[in-house]
Each structure stands twice: as C-alpha cells, then as structure tokens.
Amino acid sequence: MMEKILVSACLLGRPVRYNGSAKHVAHPALEQWQREGRIVSICPELTAGFSVPRPPAEIAKGRSGEAVLSDGARVIEVTGADVTDLYIAGAHAALDLAREHDCRFALLIDGSPSCGSGFIYDGSFGGRTHVGAGVTAALLRDHGIEVFAETEIDTLSSRLSRNS
C-alpha cells in the first residue's frame, strides 16, 4: 500500500489561515501524491473549533510547541486571549488522523504556531521568528512522525522513495 502523508490544508490551497488566505504550494511531487490518493489533509486549528478569519496567535515568550505540551508555555492571541487548550486539541486531532492513516510523514506549513516545524514567531507579534516548532508539529514528532516544511518537499520525496 502507498504510504500516506499528513498535509496542512492551507498548503493544498484551502483558505483556512487566520486571515482567510491559503498558502498554496505547487510542486510536482505534491501533485503526484494527490493523484495517487496519498494525501491526508487537516487544518488543526479549524478542527479544534476555530473559525476563519480568527485573530493571529503566537506561542508566548519565545517558547515552543514542545514547551506548550510539557512545560506550561501558552498560546496567546493578539487580543490577549489564551487559546492554548484549543491548540493542544488541534494537535491531538492531527495525531489521531495521522495514526488512523498510518502516516509516518507530515508536510506542514512552516511558521505557524500549530504547523511550524523549522521556525515560529516569538510571541511579541512584532514579526520576529526563532527556531522551533508549533504545537501540532511537536506532538507529531513526539510520536515518531517526521515533519517536513513546505521548503523540504524534495527531501520528503527522497525519504519516501527510500522507504517504498
């Protein structure tokens, strides 16, 4: 059976980001995986109950998704609302879906407090980033799922061909 890949819904062109936009990525490998029926799509934030549009949120105080899961770090909207519990719920929904489809790989949009895997914003809403993962990417990694950013589709593609 062809290995399935968990993919951020906005990367596939669904307009589900906080500001109502998508972040569509066009790549031949991605198009091939779609034709092969290997894509499992999710927006963790929408699945957790957020709507579109929604206020932007960041992991506070320069912390990371790992710290949200295990060390009390918080996810805060620009309005000041604490939305940590919903971010954790979205991460668990993504993990459940990945397990249901036996996904060992995920392809997620970088920079998001949920889906980021290489960098995230620092909680100041000043456009400053740091190396780290969002809550969903961190939870998936904790459970042995390899997470790739949209800039790493070629790397993911070669990992998949080595594994098939």
Shortest gap between Cβ of 44 and ligand SF4 (angstroms)? Answer: 5
Residues 75, 87 contacting (CB under 8 angstroms): yes
Stretch that binds ligand SF4, among 26-34, 65-73, 109-117, 121-129 (CB under 6 A): 109-117
Which of 5, 6, 16, 67 is close enough to bind ligand SF4 by CB under 6 A? 16
Closer CB to ligand SF4, 125 or 158, in the complex: 125
Q: If binding is defined by CB under 6 A, does position 117 make contact with ligand SF4?
A: no
Q: Which residue has the tokens 């000043």?
A: 126
Give CA angle at 98 (92, 40), nearest 5°.
120
Cα–Cα distance for residue pair 27/49, rounded to 1 Å = 30
Shortest gap between Cβ of 112 and ligand SF4 (angstroms)? Answer: 4
108 forms beta bridges with: 149
**How many C-alpha atoms does 114 have within 13 Å on its Cβ side?**
35
Shortest gap between Cβ of 9 and ligand SF4 (angstroms)? Answer: 5
